[in-house]
């Protein structure tokens, strides 16, 4: 999953970034509204974590503008305000959830999983493709009765493929989905992760197909 964290407190932002990246998510960090606007104008995100009090504006205004643009990306508001009226207010503006500072990281992770499940239209994260049974949020993969252990980037790459089976993904698109803006990588890195994923899927009904000059797609053998 690719997340956008909008938070001006550098210590809190660093801690959240470390935790979410440890879970294998790609996370970009914006310290103000201007940077957040720039990020969402150029990249699609699976989830936005949004602070309210920002140096150049109010996070609620950002949320309102995002929804007015028909932005459907789910938003979890990070707020130090515990009054019921404040929480109701951000929900009415279009937030999908909120969490009150200070918060426990395990609660933040649980709320992210819950919002992403709702966004997926069901109570289960599990995706099935042929004999694959994949839960991207739990980080588990089974091929028939066989359990397959994936590293973070491999897991996120499979998540991208299974979100749109048979769709061709260019190397440039995969770089955008797998790496944050502060990571310097080349498209050759995608070849490495695709090769690793192919080895993991060997013997299953699913295969990663190279479409010459265009990219890669997942298909059933």
Structure confidence by residue, pLDDT tens digits, 65-107: 999 988 889 999 998 877 888 888 999 999 999 999 999 999 9
Q: What is the tally of structural domains in the chain?
A: 2
Q: Last residue of some domain: 101, 119, 137? A: 119
Whether pLDDT at 120 is above 80: no
Which range marks the domain in which residue 213 is found? 127-220
Q: Alpha helix (H) ranges present in 99-151?
A: 105-119
Residue 121's pLDDT is what? 61
pLDDT average, residue stretch 183-194: 90
Domain CATH number, residue 50: 3.40.50.2300
Q: Are residues 152 and 94 in the same domain?
A: no
pTM above 0.85, yes or no: no
Whether pLDDT at 123 is above 60: no
């Amino acid at each position: 999953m690719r997340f956008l964290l909008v938070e001006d407190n550098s210590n809190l932002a660093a801690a959240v970034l470390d935790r979410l990246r440890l879970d294998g998510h790609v996370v970009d960090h914006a310290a103000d509204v201007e940077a957040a606007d720039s990020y969402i104008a150029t990249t699609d995100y699976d989830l936005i974590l949004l602070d309210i009090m920002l140096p150049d504006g109010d996070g609620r205004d950002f949320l309102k503008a995002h929804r007015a643009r028909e932005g459907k990306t789910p938003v979890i508001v990070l707020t130090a305000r515990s009054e019921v009226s404040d929480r109701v207010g951000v929900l009415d503006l279009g937030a999908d959830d909120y969490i009150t500072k200070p918060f426990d990281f395990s609660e933040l992770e649980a709320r992210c999983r819950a919002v992403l499940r709702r966004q997926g239209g069901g109570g289960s994260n599990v995706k099935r493709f042929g004999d694959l049974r994949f839960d991207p949020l739990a980080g588990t993969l089974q091929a028939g009765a066989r359990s397959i252990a994936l590293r973070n980037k491999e897991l996120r790459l499979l998540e991208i493929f299974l979100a749109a089976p048979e769709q061709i993904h260019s190397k440039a698109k995969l770089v955008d989905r797998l790496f944050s803006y502060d990571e310097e990588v080349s498209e050759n890195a995608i070849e490495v992760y695709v090769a690793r994923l192919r080895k993991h899927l060997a013997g299953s009904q699913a295969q990663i197909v190279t479409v010459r000059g265009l990219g890669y797609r997942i298909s059933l053998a």
